[in-house]
Amino acid sequence: MNLKERIQTVLQKLNLLDKAKANQLTQEEWGQIVNSYNQEYQSILQDDLAADQAAQRQTVAVTQEQIDQVQSILGSIVNPVQTNSTTTEEENSGNGPVQTISQPANGEGLVQLATAVQSLVDNMNNRAEDDIPSRTVTAASIMFTGPADRSRYLFGIENQMFSMSERWNKIAVNPASASSYGPWNEEIEGAAFRRQAVTFSRSLQQRYDYLHRNGMLDAKRLAAGEFSTNYEGVDTAGVGNQYVVLRQDYLIARVLSVRDLTQYFPVRYGIQDHDLVFNAFFSEVSQAYQQGEIWKGDMKLENEMGHVDDAMIKLKFGPMKELERMYIAYLNKEGSDPIKWTMIEFCILNSLETAQVEQNKRRMRGIYVKPETGVAGSYLNASTGIIYTLVRYMHEFKILPHDDESYRSYTASNMLDSVQEFVGDVVASCTEDMDLDRHVLYLNKTHLPWWIKNVRAKYGKDIDFSSPDSYRNVVPDTNMRIIWLPYLGQLPLMFMDVPGNLQFLEFVPGEMLSIKVKEDMELVKAWSTWKEGTAASFTGRRFDSLEKLKANNYEWQQIFINKPTVDMAADATTVDASKGFWQITAANTGAKAITDITNAKAGVAYIIECGSTENATTIAKSDKFADITEAYTPTKEGDYIMVILNSKGNFLELERQVGGVRKVNAALQPNIPGVR
In this predicted structure, the answer to whether residue 283 has a pLDDT above a threshold of 60 is no
Query: Bigger pLDDT: 2 or 577?
Result: 577
**What CA–CA distance (Å, rounded) separates 217 from 228?**
9
Write out the H or E segment, with its range, that includes residue 641.
Answer: strand 640-645
**What CA–CA distance (Å, rounded) separates 42 from 30?**
17
Question: What CATH number has the domain spanning 565-675?
Answer: 2.60.120
**What CA–CA distance (Å, rounded) separates 155 from 603?**
43
The helix-helix angle for 386-395 and 343-365 (nearest 10°) equals 20
**Nearest C-alpha neighbor of 604 from the set 355, 367, 356, 389:** 367
In the predicted model, what is the mean pLDDT of the chain?
Answer: 81
The backbone torsions φ and ψ at residue 170, rounded to the nearest 5 degrees and listed phi first, read -65, -40
Most confident of 54-68, 203-217, 543-557: 543-557
For the chain, what are the domain ranges? 3-55, 154-223, 246-287+294-557, 565-675
Provide the residue count of the chain. Answer: 676
**What CA–CA distance (Å, rounded) separates 503 from 268?**
7
Whether 321 and 171 have beta carbons less than 8 Å apart is answered as no
In this predicted structure, the answer to whether residue 442 has a pLDDT above a threshold of 70 is yes
Whether 627 and 652 have beta carbons less than 8 Å apart is answered as yes
What is the reported pLDDT for 260?
Answer: 82
The arithmetic mean of pLDDT across residues 592-604, rounded, is 98
Strands 560-561 and 495-497: antiparallel
In this predicted structure, the answer to whether residue 574 has a pLDDT above a threshold of 80 is yes
Max Cα separation, the chain? 128
Q: Residue 238: which residues within 8 A CB-CB, separation 6 or more? A: 158, 159
**What CA–CA distance (Å, rounded) separates 598 from 591?**
21
Cis bond leading into 449, ω under 30°?
no
What is the reported pLDDT for 138?
Answer: 39
DSSP helix/strand/coil, 536: strand
Q: Residue 132: which residues within 8 A CB-CB, separation 6 or more? A: 51, 54, 55
What is the reported pLDDT for 220?
Answer: 44
Residues 520-541 pLDDT 10s: 877 888 888 999 999 998 898 8
For residue 434, the number of C-alpha atoms closer than 13 Å in the C-beta half-sphere is 17
Whether 382 and 311 have beta carbons less than 8 Å apart is answered as yes
Q: pLDDT tier at 249 (50, 70, 90 boundaries)?
A: confident
Q: In what order do the strands lie in the sheet with 495-497?
A: 481-485, 440-444, 495-497, 560-561
**What CA–CA distance (Å, rounded) separates 154 from 166?**
10
**What CA–CA distance (Å, rounded) separates 676 from 672?**
8
What is the reported pLDDT for 90?
Answer: 43
Q: pLDDT tier at 66 (50, 70, 90 boundaries)?
A: low
Of 80-84, 115-119, 129-133, 388-392, minimum mean pLDDT range: 80-84
pLDDT > 90 in the chain, percent: 44
Most confident of 25-29, 126-130, 193-197, 519-523: 193-197
Most confident of 57-61, 161-165, 287-291: 161-165
What is the reported pLDDT for 130?
Answer: 55
**What CA–CA distance (Å, rounded) separates 271 from 291?**
50
Q: What is the pTM of this model?
A: 0.72
DSSP class of 511: G
Of 22-26, 357-361, 608-612, minimum mean pLDDT range: 22-26
Q: E-strand spans in 372-498?
A: 440-444, 481-485, 495-497
CA distances from 188 to 162, 321, 473 (A): 17, 14, 59
Helices (H), 442-596: 448-459, 546-552
Q: What are the CB-based long-range contacts (under 8 Å, 24+) for 102-106?
A: 102/75, 102/76, 103/76, 104/76, 104/80, 105/76, 105/77, 105/80
